[in-house]
Amino acid sequence: MIGEIRKRRLIEAMEDAGLDGLVLYGNAWQNDYLRYAADFGILEGEGLAVVTRDGDVTLYLDDELEGERAAVECPEVKTSIANDLIGTVSDVVARLGNSRIAAGPKRHLPYGLAARRGDLCFEDATALLDRLLMVKSIDELNAVRSAARLADEGYAVFRNAAAVGKKDYELIAEIESFFRNEGVDDNFMIIGVGGPEVRGMAPPLGKVLKSGDLVTTELTPCVNGYYVQICRTLVVGEPNEAQRKVFGIYNDALEAGLAVVRPGVTAADIARAENDIFRAHGLGEYVTSEYTRVRGHGLGLFPDTKPHILEDVNTVIEEGMSLIVHPNTYNPEIGYFVHGDSLIVRADGPEILTTTPRQLFSVDARRVAA
Partner 1 sequence: MRHGLILWREGELSFSDVKARQVRLQQAIIAAGLDGVLIYTNHVRSAGVTWVSGFTPYWSDGLVLVLREGLPIFLTALSKRVGEWVKSVAPTFEVAHSPFPGKLAGERLAKVGAKRLGVVELDRMPGGVVEEIDSVLPVELSDATDLFTKVRGQVDGAELNLVRLTDGIAREAFKAGDATSKFAGDFTGPVERAVRLAGAEECYVAVAPDLSKDRCFIRTGKAALGRTFAARLSVAYNGVWVRRIETFSAVSEIASRLASVSVELDHASPIHPADGSISAFYLPDGAKLIDWHLEAPYGTRPLKIVADAEKPLAAPVPYGILTTAFTQGGETIVAARPVGIGDTWRREAAE
For residues 278 and 336, which CB has a smaller minimum distance to partner 1 in the complex?
336
Measured from the CB atom, is 273 or 286 closer to partner 1?
A: 286
CB of 259 to partner 1, least distance (A): 28
Q: Which of 28/120 has CB closer to partner 1?
A: 28
Tell me the closest approach of the beta carbon of residue 103 to partner 1, in angstroms: 8
CA 276 to chain centre: 25
* CA triple 183-188-191, angle to 5 deg: 125
DSSP one-letter string for 191-213: EEEESTT--S-BS---PBP-TT-
Residues that bind partner 1 (CB under 8 A): 27-30, 43-46, 63-65, 68-69, 71-73, 85-86, 106-115, 169-170, 172-174, 176-177, 180-181, 183, 185-190, 199-200, 202-206, 289, 293
Nearer to partner 1, 189 or 253 (CB): 189
**Alpha-carbon span 164 to 226, nearest angstrom:** 33
- Is 11 or 310 the residue whose CB approaches partner 1 more closely? 310
Residue 35 CA to its chain's centroid (Å): 14
Shortest distance in whole angstroms from residue 234 CB to partner 1: 20
E strand or H helix at 243, and its extent? helix 241-260
Compute the distance between CA of residue 35 and CA of residue 152 in angstroms, rounded to an integer: 25
CB of 82 to partner 1, least distance (A): 12
Cβ pair 133, 34 in contact under 8 A: no
Smallest distance, partner 1 to C-beta of residue 95, A: 19
Q: How many CB atoms lie within 10 A of CB 350?
A: 22
